[in-house]
Chains A and B, each alone.
Chain A
Amino acid sequence: AQKVTQAQTEISVVEKEDVTLDCVYETRDTTYYLFWYKQPPSGELVFLIRRNSFDEQNEISGRYSWNFQKSTSSFNFTITASQVVDSAVYFCALSGTYKYIFGTGTRLKVLA
């Protein structure tokens, strides 16, 4: 069975701090895809990144970076120099076929 665990329910940081959101997944598939989505207070899920199981390269996009490690089944997300606008719930998701399996999300509060 597939499963995504986001153990951090809520994190609070002060603006400009770096923060890492953890994601651990379980799957028996050899080919799979991992995603991060942001859900701001408005409620609409916003796509951030996709990574396939054959590509373990880390990725950086502006203040965002992702660390994918198959050896530990983790796909962690780091926000550098956090801003108040980063406050949201962040979801990690796994897909082996077409449907997504989401984690329970991590609520990030960035305080001014």
Chain B
Amino acid sequence: DTGVSQDPRHKITKRGQNVTFRCDPISEHNRLYWYRQTLGQGPEFLTYFQNEAQLEKSRLLSDRFSAERPKGSFSTLEIQRTEQGDSAMYLCASSLVAGGPGDEQYFGPGTRLTVT
């Protein structure tokens, strides 16, 4: 039984470039979440999907950010025209619907983005 996986684990990019991250959730999990964590802070919610539907987006998710989960399995998070302030750890989590909120989320190892 594999956990949540994320690719790449590290990404260094120049300001203004576009980057895309991938998340593969635990196979039977139908909810998928993206969070961002900066140094010394807790993770901050960005967006979440139930199956292929994106149900909530944080105000943190500017127009330069887009997330997809086209077939309700893996998800991608794209950042266009990266800025130095985008440097952070991007975490993906998944959970299994069990009738309502409060399901524990299982996190992947994260993708560390550095924008130079």
Q: Which residues of A contact B (CB under 8 A)?
A: 4, 32-33, 35, 37, 42-47, 50, 52, 91, 93, 95-105
Whole-angstrom distance between the alpha carbons of A42 and B9 in the complex?
12
Given known contacts A35-B104, A52-B102, A102-B43, what 6 new A-B pairs fall within 8 Å (CB)? A4-B42, A37-B107, A97-B56, A100-B45, A100-B105, A104-B41
Q: How many A-B residue pairs have CB under 8 A?
A: 61
Whole-angstrom distance between the alpha carbons of A102 and B31 in the complex?
18
Whole-angstrom distance between the alpha carbons of A99 and B42 in the complex?
13
B107 A44 Cβ-Cβ under 8 A: yes
B104 A45 Cβ-Cβ under 8 A: no
Q: Is B48 at the interface (CB under 8 A from chain A)?
A: yes
For B101, the chain A residues whose CB sits under 8 A away are: 33, 95-98
Q: Is B91 at the interface (CB under 8 A from chain A)?
A: yes
Question: C-beta contact mask, B69-94 vs A, less than 8 Å → 1, else 0?
Answer: 00000000000000000000101010
Known: A104-B42, A105-B42. A98 touches B107 (CB 8 A): no
How many of chain B's residues have a CB under 8 angstroms from any CB in A?
A: 25
Whole-angstrom distance between the alpha carbons of A4 and B43 in the complex?
12
Q: For residue A73, give the distance in angstroms from its CB to the closest CB of chain B.
A: 17
Q: Which residues of B contact A (CB under 8 A)?
A: 31, 33, 35, 40-45, 48, 55-56, 58, 89, 91, 93, 101-102, 104-110
For A46, the chain B residues whose CB sits under 8 A away are: 107
User: 10 interchain pairs (CB within 8 A)?
Assistant: A42-B109, A44-B107, A44-B108, A45-B43, A45-B91, A46-B107, A99-B33, A102-B43, A103-B42, A105-B41
For A52, the chain B residues whose CB sits under 8 A away are: 102
Whole-angstrom distance between the alpha carbons of A44 and B3 in the complex?
11
For B43, the chain A residues whose CB sits under 8 A away are: 45, 91, 100, 102
